[in-house]
Structure 1
């Protein structure tokens, strides 16, 4: 029996480096699943558009394809864009977003260590940001999970114009005397304009984006297998 197609669906970015990182992640997924047809799609900025990728897949019995959102929270793009794209196709299902997840917390801690963050220092978890309450709830859960695993305070600051911004969060940390060093933990998948914004937010250090990393590949496989029911 042929395994369902895996469609890795990311947001999309104008950054060539960011696009290369996402494609690299999908290449690593292909290496991990050599018997699975892995395709790429995007919900914004550029193509290939998810609807067009789905339209190229012949209808069949059972599950013919699984859309794995390469997104760190389940907001508008998951519940609207991806959900609407798969709705006309009962043979295509959508998996959960990548986060929150304990493996992401482990990855964040590795990035913090790489950046030289002291265990007692303040961390500002910095996702892109969304006005969608479901995405904000996922971010809050991720922050709480990191807070449990981390030795110092953990705040949330968004890289976009959603409040509190990452600059707001760094400023508040300084005002509250959290002077053991403030580290921005990038909660972004790949380089791009949001990662660039983090560097100018006034922290002592900024971690690299989450990708590339084997733990991300592992989460994508988890989501795919979960959606396949295996």
Structure 2
């Protein structure tokens, strides 16, 4: 029978010599959607993260619309510390208000990572999705002069969200060598169809829509309907997304732990 380990100072358990403490759990925080493809996509991304880090406990919680909801995931973790990684592409109400409120109610220490965007790995995933949709891997000068991309995001009233989307547009433009214009499915301007029309009026006759969304759903469908040329798939479970999730997880570990009151 294994003897129990007495608590150390402050009531914290002492880790035996030679045994590493378990890493904090990684909790993917998805928005949630009524579209069943969204849940399947998030679960596929979770599976890819687990394959990259098999020893890391990875869980899923939703802000709304899908189970498990984030408070239920945190409750099930009990006293296990957790790092919440929002599967959101920029700042906004969910990142600034909803997720911190749910994290504060957890019984264990938690910390919330930065949203996924902006980051060069998102530009890598966006570029890959455009290539899958038909963007040429080696574009010549004539192609670049007549082409452009609309970066189609969900949209938010938070000005920080628009700033983050513009930064991602700049990163993608640097990879493609063509103008990349942010546009939105809701709550912000310009709308995706208006951005497509504006670029066409400027002589950009091949306007691609890059879906700056994590999963299929209502916004992805709305953005795709505005396309007159190629439309890329949402970012989904691309390998660069999984690498970015783990990057945000490890990045957040530099911050001090705080416990809920």
Residue 31 (structure 1) aligned with residue 57 (structure 2): no
Any gaps of 5 or more consecutive residues in structure 2? 1-20, 256-261
Aligned mate of 2:135, from 110, 113, 117: 117
Q: Secondary structure of 1:183's match?
A: strand
Residue 165 (structure 1) aligned with residue 191 (structure 2): yes
- Aligned partners of 2:39 and 2:66 also within 8 Å: no
**Matched residue, 1:52:** 72
Distance apart, 1:67 and its partner CA: 0.3
Greater shift in the superposed pair: 22-31 or 156-165: 156-165
Any gaps of 5 or more consecutive residues in structure 1? none
Distance apart, 1:162 and its partner CA: 2.8
**Matched residue, 2:99:** 82
Q: Secondary structure of 1:55's match?
A: helix
Which one has a bigger Cα radius of gyration? 2
Q: Secondary structure of 1:51's match?
A: helix
Q: Secondary structure of 1:219's match?
A: helix
Task: State how far apart, in whole Å, the 1-side matches of 2:102 and 2:37 are.
Answer: 27
- Aligned partners of 2:156 and 2:187 also within 8 Å: no
**Matched residue, 2:39:** 19
Cα deviation code 1:12-51 (max 9, x no counterpart): 1111112101011111112222222211101122232212
TM-score with structure 1 setting the length: 0.92
Residue 106 (structure 1) aligned with residue 106 (structure 2): no
Number of positions where the alignment pairs a residue of Structure 1 with one of Structure 2 = 226
Aligned mate of 2:234, from 205, 209, 217: 209
Residue 149 (structure 1) aligned with residue 175 (structure 2): yes
**Matched residue, 1:198:** 223
**Matched residue, 1:126:** 152
Task: State how far apart, in whole Å, the 2-side matches of 1:203 and 1:163 are.
Answer: 20
CA RMSD of aligned residues (A): 1.7
Task: State how far apart, in whole Å, the 1-side matches of 2:83 and 2:122 are.
Answer: 21
Task: State how far apart, in whole Å, the 1-side matches of 2:89 and 2:238 are.
Answer: 14
Distance apart, 1:227 and its partner CA: 1.6
Q: Secondary structure of 1:197's match?
A: helix
Residue 140 (structure 1) aligned with residue 162 (structure 2): no
- Aligned partners of 2:89 and 2:118 also within 8 Å: yes
Cα deviation code 1:72-123 (max 9, x no counterpart): 1121111111111223457100011111110111111122222223541110
Q: Secondary structure of 2:114's match?
A: coil
